Structure 1
Amino acid sequence: MERTAEPGRPEADGPGGRPAMPYASRRAVLGTALAAVTLAAAGAVTGCESSGSGSGSGSRGDQDRSPFTGGSEKGDHVLAVKIDNVDPARPQTGLDQADLVYTEEVEAGLSRILAVFASRVPASVGPVRSARESDLELLRQFGRPALAFSGVQSKLMPTLEAAPLRLVPPGKLGDGYERDPSRPAPHNLYLRARTAVDAAKDASAPRDIGFRFGPAPDGGRRVGEHSVRYPAARFSFNWSADRRRWLVSMDGAPAHARGDGRLAPATVVVQYVTARASRFRDSSGSVTPYTETVGQGRALVLRDGKEYRARWSRPSADRGTIFTDSEGHRLPFARGQVWTALVPKD
């Protein structure tokens, strides 16, 4: 038979003859204890997330930093500029203020540069040159960035116009470009970058593209210099302990920004990729390489005077690129400008 407590009397005796707590009170205490455990667990999870290195991976302070450089300035819109990189084009203008610099192979084994700006937008960038098909795949990770370029093959133009890009070539931004009469064409077209950003207010804001920033990890191999070679171009990166930066040389000559000092990123990534022939050729008949940046492969990360072996992974074009160490942990970059050399794998 079910026992019913008398009014004003405990429901039952507890251990040792102490009055037992009423059921409703016991439920309230248990609920309070459960809530406390839940809050503690949530705090522990949050603490673990906050301890991860890099922008976008932890504390609110990190989330407010640039996802491209880990710096305190983030910027409002992403502007990518295709930049010439042959001897008559050097020294280039504005490269020292880019958040990200990508190098890639183009026709005849030469190299070209794609510079990405967000946190700082210089007055002038260039010389500006034509876009390539593989730029579309590389830029998808930024959302819908603005792209400045001098032109493109007519067969590629429909694909370019259909891509998620805010195009700002000379034909759409006439007052956004100028020619430098002291330089020979076609190496003398410069973008008024701030004009381009003002005209592209609908371009994407900076977002996470997979990079993480923080203190140098354990391990690594101390190196003073690393070179990247294309068939007809070469980049070298020499570590400066005084500046804590990698000093850039192009084809054996120190690389400077026009009117400023030596180009010197904080982190250099050598990303080994598949480079295949595209369906396009230049005016001389040379095949245009297509650089694949979706997939996975090996990489080297240079930071703080050391070289770290890494793996890169980018599962789809609209996703960023993740760099991990041999144990699968995210490999943090040094805060500051990042150069990525897209190098055909063996």
Structure 2
Amino acid sequence: MRKKWIAVLAAAIVLTAGCSSKETEKKEATEHKEKQVEVEEVVKPEELSYQFPLTGLGTAEESSDRAVAVVVNNHPKARPQSGLPQADIVYEVLAEGDVTRFVAIFQSEKPKNIGPVRSAREYFIDLAAGYDSFFIAHGYSPEAKIRLDHGEIDNINGMQYDGTLFKRADFRKAPHNSYINFKNIVKGADQKGYNLDKAPGNAEFLSSEEADQLDGVEAKDFMVSYGSPSFDAIYEYDAEEGKYHRFIGSEETVDLESKDPVLLDNVLVVQMNHKVVDNAGRRVIDMNSGGKGYLFQKGKVNEIQWKNEAGRIIPYKDGVKAGFVPGKTWINIVPSISSVSFDSQQ
């Protein structure tokens, strides 16, 4: 199905070894079996007493880690990025022009490397604040700088720590080459006296039974358009994995180092009013008034209404809060819900 969406995009732009002995084999087989048993024992649901607050996935110990929000570059010269598969939640939202950036929220996993890191906008700060995140960016708009300087959110910025906490990769050119690792995130928080041991509040999740019984219109694949083929995202549902894969055209969104793909359990697309406010093309986005949206889960889609509750974008269906399937979530913020295209079957 992705070929269909790629064709749509193209039309829109009109261009572009064996073991050494039986004994060794037997020993390795035994060790492999023992490891399988060990893994199975670790993931038994009845033995996982707690859940990560932003994924709803089980964990043996209660997590007290603070959320960390990082502004990640999505320019074609910044792809593939580092760390996105480990993010619990990723917001995708327009910056200037038809260029999108990500606000990646990390809590359950801590990737070794994250980036390229890009500059802050006011609404990026608002999204991060909804999870009481430690906010990481490299640069800022004038309005965002005022808010960061006033201490509205705990943060470190590459403008002050370029070459120390933030490192420049030699295989990419600025502004597409700023990276930060988790060790330096912790170091930066420590230097500024910020606490990183308070977990965010829990999101609303479906039980496994509720997730298996989800209704909705079938929508195995869909596209979210941002007005440019370079930023239009295609999602495909893999029924065997029970996950969505994300693509830009023919290129899957994967991790730079590991090549692991972004795998999603929920894709929420919400319409918000966008207004360009200066000659640089910077925007004001209304993240408070609520509005229309789509929630894609388990290969199905439901029309929803969204509300801003304590800084978080929450979907509602028929006046009731719509829970997320436990796992990873991607939230696309678009100026118009007509930006979403999918083939539906009742």
Separation (CA, whole Å) in 1 of partners of 2:328 and 2:64: 14
Determine what percentage of the aligned residue pairs are the same residue: 22
Separation (CA, whole Å) in 2 of partners of 1:198 and 1:267: 32
Query: Cα 1:276–1:240, aligned 2, differ >3 Å: closer, same or farther?
Result: same
| CA apart distance, 1:305 | 1.0
| CA apart distance, 1:160 | 2.2
| CA apart distance, 1:253 | 2.2
Separation (CA, whole Å) in 2 of partners of 1:299 and 1:286: 28
SS in 2 for 1:205: coil
- Candidates 52, 55, 58, aligned match of 1:72: 58
Could you tell me which residue of structure 2 aligns to residue 51 of structure 1?
none
The within-5 A match list for 1:64-143 is 64-73=50-59, 74-143=63-132
Counterpart contact for 1:178–1:189, Cα < 8 Å = yes
| CA apart distance, 1:162 | 2.2
Could you tell me which residue of structure 2 aligns to residue 21 of structure 1?
none
Counterpart contact for 2:66–2:200, Cα < 8 Å = no
| 1:160 has 2:148 as partner | yes
| 1:223 has 2:212 as partner | no
- Candidates 121, 133, 137, aligned match of 1:149: 137
| CA apart distance, 1:210 | 4.7
Could you tell me which residue of structure 1 aligns to residue 256 of structure 2?
258
Query: Cα 1:162–1:212, aligned 2, differ >3 Å: closer, same or farther?
Result: farther
The within-5 A match list for 1:1-346 is 64-73=50-59, 74-143=63-132, 145-173=133-161, 175-200=164-189, 201-203=194-196, 205-208=198-201, 210-214=203-207, 215-216=210-211, 217-232=213-228, 233-259=231-257, 260-278=259-277, 281=278, 285-315=279-309, 318-326=310-318, 328-345=319-336
Counterpart contact for 1:149–1:168, Cα < 8 Å = yes
Query: Cα 1:67–1:108, aligned 2, differ >3 Å: closer, same or farther?
Result: same
Separation (CA, whole Å) in 1 of partners of 2:312 and 2:169: 36
Separation (CA, whole Å) in 1 of partners of 2:308 and 2:321: 13
Query: Cα 1:156–1:207, aligned 2, differ >3 Å: closer, same or farther?
Result: closer
| CA apart distance, 1:84 | 0.6
Query: Cα 1:306–1:105, aligned 2, differ >3 Å: closer, same or farther?
Result: same
Separation (CA, whole Å) in 2 of partners of 1:298 and 1:93: 31
| CA apart distance, 1:333 | 1.4
Counterpart contact for 1:79–1:148, Cα < 8 Å = yes
| CA apart distance, 1:82 | 0.5
| CA apart distance, 1:252 | 4.3
Counterpart contact for 2:127–2:311, Cα < 8 Å = no
| CA apart distance, 1:75 | 5.0
Counterpart contact for 1:209–1:320, Cα < 8 Å = no
> Gaps spanning 5+ residues in structure 1: where?
1-60
Report the residue type matching 1:224 in the other structure.
Answer: K
Counterpart contact for 2:125–2:144, Cα < 8 Å = no
| CA apart distance, 1:101 | 0.5
Separation (CA, whole Å) in 2 of partners of 1:332 and 1:155: 34
Separation (CA, whole Å) in 2 of partners of 1:105 and 1:154: 17
Separation (CA, whole Å) in 2 of partners of 1:270 and 1:321: 10
SS in 1 for 2:263: coil
SS in 2 for 1:139: helix
> Gaps spanning 5+ residues in structure 2: where?
1-47, 338-346
Q: Deviations over 1:100-132 (max 9, x none)?
A: 101001111111111011111111100001011
Separation (CA, whole Å) in 2 of partners of 1:130 and 1:204: 26
Larger Rg: 1
Root mean square deviation of aligned Cα: 2.2
| CA apart distance, 1:72 | 2.4
Separation (CA, whole Å) in 2 of partners of 1:262 and 1:95: 9
Counterpart contact for 1:225–1:238, Cα < 8 Å = yes
Counterpart contact for 1:103–1:114, Cα < 8 Å = yes
Query: Cα 1:110–1:207, aligned 2, differ >3 Å: closer, same or farther?
Result: same
Query: Cα 1:72–1:198, aligned 2, differ >3 Å: closer, same or farther?
Result: farther
TM-score, normalisation: structure 1: 0.74
